Amino acid sequence: MGEPHLQRYLDDHPDLESIDLLMPDLNGLARGKQIGRSLFAKSFREGILLPRSVYGGNICGETVEATDLGIRTGDQDQPCLLEAATLRPVPWANRSTAQCMMEMHGTDGTPFPASPRQVLRNIVKRLHDDGLYPTVAVELEFYLFRDALDDTGRPLLLIDPVTGREANSTQVYSMDELALAAPFIDTVQRYCQAQGVPASAAVAEYAPCQFEINLAHRSDPLAACDDALYLKRIVRQAARNNQALASFMAKPLAGQTGCGMHIHVSLFDEQGNNRFSARDGELGQAIGGLQATINEAMLLYAPHGNSYRRFRPKAYVPLSPTWGYNNRTVAMRIPAGPEKARRIEHRVAGADANPHLVMAAVLAGIHHGYRNSLATDEPIEGDAAGQREPTLPTDWRRAIDLFDDSMWIRDYFGHEFQSLYGTIKLDEYEDYQREVTPLDIRWYLQTV
């Protein structure tokens, strides 16, 4: 399978020694294995075997036995088929190495139904079947820290080479802030170019040492989310190679803004016309669907305990399902620009979320709005926080319950995915609640 493409790649890279085989788990972490040259042909022809428990792991990489993918069912292997079209070099490797995406399949040849990439494929197909063709883009925010933690295990901001002091000021869109991280950004750009990742811009964000890298719009949502996965890998490796630490954690610093993942979506018909262009009724249906499903999808937008620390007032993070034109305080922003390029920018998810699942939730919400001809409320002008009561479920356990009970999730994502993802998140929540934090000790040890 994919052998002709592999052969072309080998002809172009005769010194290739190994391939990293990647498969994102439910938390968006790249799992897999590395194979040597002697296994190339066989692996691309027959696939490789990996345990189903890859999809039963929590954020710490431990198998959640309640998923029935681990020891109780024998920790069974399943075939994983390689997607040769995703072959690309790994420019930071010490020897000639490539990377390639793969997809787990059942013994009957069908894709594993709870795979995040397969879930996204299924939802995109539902849009295509109704003559709707999304073009999408992903924006990711992250922090760049020193490559050492303080005595309490907290991250340290970069040192300004001019002043010799910690960079602790907020200089949004500052070119000086970009200059501070210039060697790192240059490395990211070089790696992106080598891997064909369409990174289009880098900006300094709303906190010291916080940055955003934008990916170009693509008509293939799966490829766009694969790019986001590649970009995360590139950013982390570029940071290591520049003696730094990159983090996509939603809220790594208590006193600073969090890191978001913004999803841009425009929708086209079979003739290539933008369905959002000068058609407020259709735009309203799409937004209405996103508003109607946002609470049930919150666990996909904010999958971790730390994710919910990002949701606070005056932080450019929405607290209710608002929308508006050219307004960064709302959940669904319609950016400025010509009508023919009109799109929705979905601003709810954190950078810690799985991009394939966030994209799936956004597209499923839009499709739900179209299929049910949903209406939306009036667009917000000015600060949304002062005009709408907070209604998003900013409690992790509440988000888990809404996800588990959602018939919309079951319809679009499938019962197996809903059960598996909900089980893993409940297990993580219970472990998180059992932890005694430094704040517990500081507040209660000598006072109660």
pLDDT tens-place string over residues 367-415: 999 999 999 999 999 988 888 899 999 999 999 999 999 999 999 999 9
One domain for residues 273 and 375: yes
One domain for residues 83 and 176: no
What 3 state SS string does 109-155 have?
CCECCCCHHHHHHHHHHHHHHCCCEEEEEEEEEEEEEEEEECCCCCE
- Summarize the confidence of residues 178-191 as an average pLDDT: 86
In a domain, 433, yes or no: yes
Are the C-beta atoms of residues 160 and 211 closer than 8 Å to each other? no
In a domain, 177, yes or no: yes
Query: 43: burial class by Cβ within 10 Å (0-12, 13-18, 19+)?
Result: buried
- Asked if residue 339 has pLDDT above 90, the reply is no
Q: How far is CA 351 from CA 26, 250, 308, in A?
A: 15, 6, 12
One domain for residues 384 and 426: yes
Are the C-beta atoms of residues 391 and 320 closer than 8 Å to each other? yes
Top pLDDT among 184 and 171 is at 184
One domain for residues 103 and 162: no
One domain for residues 101 and 132: no
One domain for residues 262 and 166: yes
In a domain, 371, yes or no: yes
One domain for residues 135 and 59: no
In a domain, 75, yes or no: yes
Q: Which domain holds residue 385?
A: 124-439
| pLDDT bucket at 180, cuts 50 / 70 / 90 | confident
Are the C-beta atoms of residues 53 and 63 closer than 8 Å to each other? yes
One domain for residues 20 and 84: yes
- Summarize the confidence of residues 302-314 as an average pLDDT: 94
One domain for residues 354 and 406: yes
Domain boundary among 81, 112, 143: 112
pTM above 0.85, yes or no: yes
pLDDT tens-place string over residues 262-294: 999 999 999 999 999 866 679 999 999 999 999
Neighbours of 13 (CB within 10 A): 14
- Asked if residue 161 has pLDDT above 90, the reply is no
| pLDDT bucket at 207, cuts 50 / 70 / 90 | confident
One domain for residues 332 and 432: yes
What pLDDT does residue 301 have?
98
In a domain, 16, yes or no: yes
In a domain, 225, yes or no: yes
What pLDDT does residue 196 have?
96
- Asked if residue 308 has pLDDT above 70, the reply is yes
Are the C-beta atoms of residues 323 and 333 closer than 8 Å to each other? yes
- Residue 206 and residue 259: Cα distance in Å, rounded? 10
Q: How far is CA 18 from the centre of its chain?
A: 27
What 3 state SS string does 338-365 have?
CHHHCCEEECCCECCCCHHHHHHHHHHH
3-class SS of residue 317: coil
- Asked if residue 252 has pLDDT above 90, the reply is yes
One domain for residues 47 and 128: no
Domain boundary among 77, 112, 147: 112
CATH of residue 102's domain is 3.10.20.70
> Into how many domains does the chain fold?
2
Mean pLDDT of the chain: 92
Domain boundary among 112, 137, 169: 112
CATH of residue 129's domain is 3.30.590.10
One domain for residues 131 and 206: yes
In a domain, 269, yes or no: yes
In a domain, 90, yes or no: yes
3-class SS of residue 167: coil
What pLDDT does residue 280 have?
64
